[in-house]
Amino acid sequence: MGSSPLPVTRTRIARLAAASALLLLTGCAKEGISPQGQEVHRLFVIIMILAAPVFLGVEAVLIWCIVRYRKRDDDPAPQTVGGSRSLVVFFAIPAVIIAVLFPFGEATLMNIERRETPQVQIKVEGFQWEWTFLYLNEGLFVAGKTLVRPAVMVLPVDEPVQIQLVSRDVIHSFFVPDLLFKRDAIPGRTTTFTFTPTQLGTFHGQCAEFCGLWHSRMTFDVKVVAPLDYQAWIKQQRKKAQGITCEPQGTTLSLIAHNISWNQFCLAVPANTPFTVDITNQDVGIQHNFSIYDSFFEKKKYFTSPRITGPDSETLNANPLPPGHYYFQCDVHGPAMSGAFIVK
């Protein structure tokens, strides 16, 4: 018959091209900066090993048919069809592949979901459109500023980290490609997971669930540092938080919300005196409010205003407060829009 060496060569070229495409895919995959991420990478490679022969086999047979069975004469093609036996084989082959594949996936899932005793506990809040990381044991937080600067999560290397993920508004997704992991931040739910970064460096993260206008800018960084550097960073952050202070200037406070941030980080009023707050919201279509708490843990609430949809402004009267160091925030956006509230 007319089967020249041509088909073989073509098949070989096609196989080579396909194999290199697969290699390319494997080479591009991130290998993970945590044991959990490395597990997932291993699963990626295992599925590749199972999938590659299927891909190459089907494409090879397809190309073979195209080359070998081109119509060359007017003889009718054989009118044979497959019987029940071939049908059983057709069902059996993919079933076997699935039976091999599924346990690998489950094993990886169990491994990455294994809980470790966390050394660092961080409550991660997503909001439109940035992140706040609250270090629960250290009593401090870092927040990103929408369109201006992404939040940075500093982590000590080789220590298990527990993330408690929440959202203040719509669904977001906490995604660090180098961890090979993401988890949705869902309003009304707290989702917890752990991982252990084992590699020093700064790794990009980003919201992975579409969340509105500036979804594409909802980025953050994970900075993995040596334990000593981590301690130093904690100390510095604490000092920075405590260092904020200001003096009362009368009993009228005026605050402007613009681009999802306040124009002031410190407010002060005289002790045991009623005061008024003027709030101007310049963010079109975005809600803000103003609340006073004991601290960002929100254990005790002293004052709260209704939500104001911008552009709008409102003047509010507040009851006197005893002297002390308080905390204010916009409840829509949380600590990312907060500051010190000092009563003297």
Partner 1 sequence: MAVTQAPTRELTPEPRGRLLVWLTTTDHKKIGILYLVNSFSFFTVGGIFALLMRTELARPGQQLIGAHAYNELFTIHGTLMIFLVIFPILAGLGNYFVPLQIGALDMAFPRINALSFWLLPVGGLTILSGFLAKGGAAACGWTCYAPLNEQLGTGVDLWLAGLILVGTASILGAINFIVTILRMRAPGMTMMRLPVFVWGILATSLLVILATPVFTAGLIMLFADRRLGTSFFDPAHGGVALLWQNVFWFFGHPEVYMLILGAWGVVTEILSVFSGRPIFSYRGVVLSFLMITALSFTVWAHHMFATGAVELPFFSITTELISIPTGVLFFVWLGTLWKGKLRFEVPMLFALGFIALFLIGGIDGVWAASPAMDFAIHDTYWVVAHLHYVLFGGTLFGIMAGMYYWFPKMSGRMLSRKLGQWHFWLQFIGFNVTFFPMHILGLRGMPRRIADYAPDRGWSFLNLVSTIGAFLIAISLLIFFANVLTTLRKPRSAPADPWRANTLEWATSSPPPPHNFDALPAIHSGRPVYDARVAEAGPTDRGSR
**Residues 168-227, interacting with partner 1 (CB under 8 A):** 169-171, 173, 175, 177-178, 180-184, 186-189, 191, 193, 204, 206-217, 219
Map the footprint of partner 1 across residues 2-31, applying CB under 8 A.
21, 24-25, 28-30
Site for partner 1 in 73-112 (CB under 8 A): 73, 75-82, 86-87, 89-91, 93-95, 97-98, 101-102, 104-106, 108-109, 112
Residue count, binding to partner 1 (CB under 8 A):
85
Residue 269 CB, nearest approach to partner 1 (Å): 31
Sheet strand arrangement including 275-281:
261-262, 252-258, 275-281, 312-318
Q: Which residues contact 245 (CB under 8 A, 6 or more apart)?
A: 266, 340, 342
Shorter beta-carbon distance to partner 1: residue 24 or 228: 24
Q: Which residue carries 């005061």 as its tokens?
A: 275
Whether the CB-CB separation of 138 and 234 falls below 8 Å is answered with: yes
CA–CA distance from 306 to each of 82, 155, 288 (Å)?
Answer: 72, 36, 8
Residue 4 or 69 having the CB closest to partner 1: 69
Shortest Cβ 145–partner 1 spacing (Å): 16
Among 59, 138, 159, 278, binds partner 1 (CB under 8 A): 59
**Closest separation between CB of residue 37 and partner 1, Å?**
8
Comparing CB distances to partner 1, the nearer of 80 and 317 is 80
Query: What residues are paired with 343 via a beta bridge?
Result: 269, 324
Q: How far is the CB of 81 from partner 1 (least distance, A)?
A: 5
Residue 165 or 340: the one with the smaller Cβ distance to partner 1 is 165
Task: Tell me the C-alpha distance between 328 and 305, whole Å.
Answer: 11
At residue 73, the 3 state secondary structure works out as: coil
Locate 318 and state its tokens.
């507040």
Residue 104 or 276: the one with the smaller Cβ distance to partner 1 is: 104
Q: How far is the CB of 138 from partner 1 (least distance, A)?
A: 25
Residues 307-326 within binding reach of partner 1 (CB under 8 A)? none
Contacts 24+ apart (CB under 8 A), 34-38: 34/179, 34/195, 34/196, 34/197, 34/198, 34/199, 35/196, 35/198, 36/111, 36/112, 36/179, 36/180, 36/181, 36/195, 36/196, 37/178, 37/179, 37/180, 37/181, 37/195
Q: Name the residue nearer to partner 1 (CB basis): 89 or 232.
A: 89
